[in-house]
Chain A
């Protein structure tokens, strides 16, 4: 299984971080930035290169909400469900996304790996509530209708 995995990217990340277990969080972040998630194959590989147990790396990666061992879609949609967004009807926005993409509280990513839908607790833009983010871009004052239009546009981009 691991023999078919190409570790070139991981090697680059490791050398950019001094091959040091001290920088394990930075290393995991860089790897995740490239793959949009943490492929499981990297754990035994990092364990050997950094002299750190697999269980410890798994421990760190599962502690932080931001790391994921599940593959994520090309577009990661983060719907804010903080207090301000919640009272300004973020739930219908989320439900519209789920319904349109066939996702749910348990299933976050579409089978074609195009979309991942997550909730976050605050994007720090409460004045624009309800908000959401698609990858690095923020969308303000969302409604179920606007969400469908955004999806349409993203699909058009491919």
Chain B
């Protein structure tokens, strides 16, 4: 048995227990080290030099990239370190567009935060930053501004390491270094899939979600336009913290109340169209299983994944379910309901996702030049709109969504977390094949935050190989195995690690995905209807609205894009 090992931080002995770096040990004794480039999910980069610590010989080391050793003695807050940190901040601020009051990231910015924490009273160096936010407007999902970039490399690492997309990297060097696509091409022409994870990890306003609030307010104010809105499952558990509720708390009722007060005419829950997705996708899965169709069936809800498949794996497009995403199903139903009415309908979707902005603009989802979903705003933008409205969110009385898309099932709610689509499908399949209970469906192996979850399920006389994947880097790993000949029957892919709860459009906090997924499973448990097929509204929508038009309203075929 090995003896316990200790090191000393600020005079306090701390046990070393397999921590990878001193930074983690500092947290153990309640010291929050200043960092820009450190993210526990990403590789260690050691670029920002904010987490420097002083050893007993007066040497300084970066806490994030120094492994702890027994007997080490370090200090985290000395006169010298404070001076260094202030210097670094001043130099960063000299290269930073300091128009904080009109910055999207105002009050969410780590640079602003640390400048306040270290009491920066002035910057001695001339400001050389130039805003580039109008240089590349090609992406409908995100906006980049090199004038606010501190070159911490977080975006590069999340894009490469977690998402395997590789749209951006460092280019040039020294004072000319920038984050760039290959040859500085517009983002829309790069491999970018619009997942927005770069915006989520960016400590400043250098990468932000494209803001579409203006057109939504205009539609609400326009007396000749009717406005409807749909709210995605993952939004209800992520909006709270910034509006004085808990992160992970289900505040759907309050969101509905807020939207009604803001002036929306019709308010729906995307969960209902998620129920429709379950019905259609399960039917498609069983059809493929029974009739020797193309397997694995891969889910189609996630627009980041769809773009990834189009750009990197067109050979798998045939495997992707033909179901439209729940957002687009709801969009086409709402627009269909309104098609003979005189007043124009403006349909807004509130999503945890930046890639949904791209999905809504796809030609596949236009009818006569008009999109099914006119505007997509993210959870972050919804928070801004609620704040702008002056509504005291935490005091709002909860309200319910409107008919004819009113009642939802628990199966639809859990679409917002990795494994949710799979579980919803299992709840549907299990009924048609055996007496397996909901509990069995819950414990099949699809829950949890691991990036790749795999399990086998009996179906008739065969064993179905099912994989649940989140994060595109993990998707790549599973697809490579499938390409190499390994058999899968069903693969759920969500681009963002943890699923939509951790989407690029959500407010960003570390470890938020656990609380939010817990919130969604709680919401699921509190619903009396937990299977999509038992939802009476699903049946009435099929009978009264969809009739024999399921293909026209609920399905889509993505085709490989040709290289130019």
Contacts and interface: CB of A to CB of B under 8 A. Distances in A.
Interface of A: 40, 43, 52-59, 62-63, 69
Contacts, number: 47
Q: 7 tightest CB-CB pairs across the interface, nearest first?
A: A53-B166, A54-B182, A55-B169, A59-B169, A58-B182, A62-B171, A55-B182
Contacts of B180: 55, 58-59
A57 B181 CA distance: 10
Contacts of B191: 53-54
Interface residues of B, number: 16
A55 B166 contact: yes
B168 interface: yes
Given A40-B183, A43-B182, A54-B182, A59 B167 contact: no
Interface in B152-190: 160, 165-173, 180-183, 190
A55 B181 contact: yes
Contact of A56 (B169, B172, B173, B183): B169
Chain A interface helix/strand/loop/mixed: helix
Contacts of B170: 59, 63
A43 B183 contact: yes
A57 B168 CA distance: 11
Interface of B: 160, 165-173, 180-183, 190-191
A36 to B, nearest CB: 19
Contact of B167 (A40, A43, A55): A55
Nearest to A69: B183
B160 A53 contact: yes
Nearest to A55: B169
Contacts of B181: 54-55, 58
Contacts of A53: 160, 165-167, 169, 182, 191
17 contacts: A52-B166, A53-B165, A53-B182, A53-B191, A54-B181, A54-B191, A55-B166, A55-B169, A55-B171, A55-B182, A56-B166, A58-B169, A58-B182, A62-B171, A62-B172, A63-B170, A63-B171
Nearest to B184: A58
A63 B183 contact: no
Contacts of B167: 53, 55
B172 A63 contact: yes
Contacts of A58: 169, 171, 180-183
Nearest to A3: B563
Nearest to B176: A62
A55 B173 contact: no
A56 B168 CA distance: 8
Contact of B173 (A52, A57, A63, A69): A63
B403 to A, nearest CB: 48
Contacts of B168: 55
Most buried by B among A40, A52, A59, A69: A59
Contacts of B172: 62-63
Nearest to A63: B173
